[in-house]
Amino acid sequence: MSVYTEVGRDELVAFLGDYAVGELVSFEGISDGIENTNYFVNTEQGQFVLTLFEQHEFDELGYFLDVMTFFYQHGIPSAHPAEDKEGRYLKTLCGRPAALVMRLSGRGVNSVATLAQCQEIGEVLGKMHLAGQAFKSQRATQRGPDWRQNMAATVLPLLDAESAQVLQDEIAFQAAYSSLDLPFGVTHSDLFRDNALFEGDELKGIIDFYYACDEYLLYDLAVAINDWCVDDSGLIDSQRYQQLMSAYSKQRPLTDIEQDSFNLVLRAAALRFWLSRLQDKLFPREGELTQIKNPDAFLKILSQHRAQSLS
């Protein structure tokens, strides 16, 4: 959510004229995150998040906005897009596809998650996976095995010998990922602590559905575990893990094959974010408020899962 595209006040006023949201009061860029340009926008009638999409074409964005609207309509606390006066969710601003999304209360979790927060996330993710079975649109993952293999080949020559060996070993180990017979459906695929807004231990809503896709439901759970259940040193904390898993399983118990495949999927989720952070670090994009997250954090998580499979 760094600012790659700067929006001027006059441009924003003209954009908002197509919505029934009143006059612009204030706006400011959001520095958290990586992929898109985001602004907080305050008008006479409400608070919004304006997103300008830097990675997606206009025609493919309807899927993400439909996912957000679907979950909101099915009782999942989540951000949802505002319609313009002609009922459209998606428009163009400063040459980029853009959407105005209702701003939720609460803040992302910037520190180690509490047990109660892990429970909330496990419960809502289980509910999302159940509700999502009725979602009809489909979208293939853009960060799946093919992407992981291609990105590994790109970054491999730039790694130290030890990291390069881990990466080569892991790509080989995960070769069977695509053929797993696991429950499948619409997933958030990026449910990190900064994509869930809390007031204390109360979940106010899920945001940033722009990696939503059809994937193994277990992968979505693994992404969450690899972020919500880590301790200060970046290792999986057993209490947080048990709390999240217990809450999730009360909504959707794992199948036997999911339990047997969990280590592999946890490793796939860790590898995906290790690689994407390596990409951001080694091939940074220009932006006004960009931030680059440390890829070593996910190398540590991946290494822990690799060690666990040997124990």
Question: pLDDT digit string (tens) for 270-295?
Answer: 999 999 999 999 998 765 445 678 99
Topology annotation, domain 9-103? Phosphorylase Kinase; domain 1 (3.30.200)
| Residue ranges covered by each domain of the chain | 9-103, 108-310
**Mean pLDDT of the region 55-59:** 90
Hey, which CATH number is domain 108-310, 3.30.70.260, 3.90.1200.10, 3.40.640.10, 2.60.120.430? 3.90.1200.10
Structure confidence at residue 291 (pLDDT): 64
Question: pLDDT digit string (tens) for 194-222?
Answer: 999 999 999 999 999 999 999 999 999 99
Question: pLDDT digit string (tens) for 66-75?
Answer: 999 999 999 9
What is the band of 236 on the pLDDT scale with cuts at 50, 70, 90? very high
Q: Is the pLDDT of residue 34 over 70?
A: no
Structure confidence at residue 1 (pLDDT): 42
Q: What is the 3-state secondary structure (H, E, C) of the chain?
A: CCCCCCCCHHHHHHHHCCCCCCCEEEEEECCCCCCCEEEEEEECCEEEEEEECCCCCHHHCHHHHHHHHHHHHCCCCECCECCCCCCCCEEEECCEEEEEEECCCCEECCCCCCHHHHHHHHHHHHHHHHHHHHCCCCCECCCCHHHHHHHHHHHHHHCCHHHHHHHHHHHHHHHHHHHCCCCEEEECCCCCHHHEEEECCEEEEECCCCCCEEEEHHHHHHHHHHHHCECCCCCECHHHHHHHHHHHHHHCCCCHHHHHHHHHHHHHHHHHHHHHHHHHHHCCCCCCCCCCCCCHHHHHHHHHHHHHHHC
